Amino acid sequence: MKKLSVLLLSLLVIFVSTACGETEEAEIDKVDSAGENQTEEDVESEEEIEEVEEVIEETSEEEIVEDLATEETAVNTDETLSQKNAVDMAESYLSYTAFSKSGLIDQLKFEGFDDEDATYAVNQISVDWQDQALTMAQDYLGYTAFSESGLIDQLKFEGFNDEDATYAVNQISVDWQDQAAIMAQDYLDYSSFSRSGLIEQLEFEGFSNEDATYAVDEIGL
């Protein structure tokens, strides 16, 4: 009987120990599961925050664009009929010939617009003035001869600043000796020159002594 009691007591201890072990494992599994769930929730929360921030940024950009468009419309609404006509004429001139900024303003004033409307019109249009200088340089060389410095000076006379004028002349491919020869022949077509006199005249026009001498030799003087 005593042995039976001891046996039952041992079995009870084993059962209790096993139950406690399973309980601890279950609790550990719960903790691990809770941790994984918490991590997943944190990731989802971060993704949601990022999505909200993106929406806010996109909304802000759209609002900025709308505000700018509204401001531009407001500006155009305030444009007078005279200013609108000045803008139209400025664009029309640029569609078939080149101008410097100051040259275009002067042309509009010559057409009867006051300085305020002419300046307003030129400021309203989008123009690459260096490209305008390049176009004008090519136009000049299409019908008369220039030295390099002479062409730069001509563009500056037309209202381009030194930087834009120099840029334009440097962009085009020109044989300056050939230009000197053309100019030398043009001079002789309407006036008489001695050899030294023509060389001096070409130097006055901006050609180097070397180019001027070459030109006079080419025309046989």
Q: Within a domain: residue 93? A: yes
- pLDDT tier at 203 (50, 70, 90 boundaries)? very high
CATH code for position 93 = 1.10.10
In a domain? residue 100? yes
Task: State the total domains in the chain.
Answer: 1
Listing DSSP states for 145-191 in one string gives ---HHHHHHHHHHTT--HHHHHHHHHHS---HHHHHHHHHHHHHHHS
Does this model's pTM top 0.75? My answer is no
Exposure string of 72-83, with b = 16+ CB inside 10 Å and e = fewer, is: eeeeeeeeeebb
What is the spatial distance between Cα 197 and Cα 25, in angstroms, rounded to a whole number?
113
In a domain, residue 90? The reply is: yes
Percent of the chain with pLDDT over 70: 65
Give which of 82, 127, 142, 78 is closest to 109, Cα–Cα. Answer: 82
Confidence label for 73 from pLDDT (cuts 50, 70 and 90)? very low
pLDDT of residue 78: 84
Q: Does a structural domain hold residue 41?
A: no
Is residue 99 one of the residues assigned to a domain? yes
Percent of the chain residues past pLDDT 90, beyond the cut: 64
Give the distance, in angstroms, between the CA of residue 76 and the centroid of all CA atoms in the same chain: 24
pLDDT tens, residue by residue, 106-116: 999 999 999 99
Task: Classify residue 106: in a domain, yes or no.
Answer: yes
* Range(s) of the domain holding residue 102: 79-127
194 pLDDT exceeds 80? yes
Indicate whether 220 belongs to any domain.
no
Evaluate if residue 188 carries a pLDDT over 50: yes
Higher pLDDT among residues 2 and 179, named by residue: 179
| 185 vs 55, more confident | 185
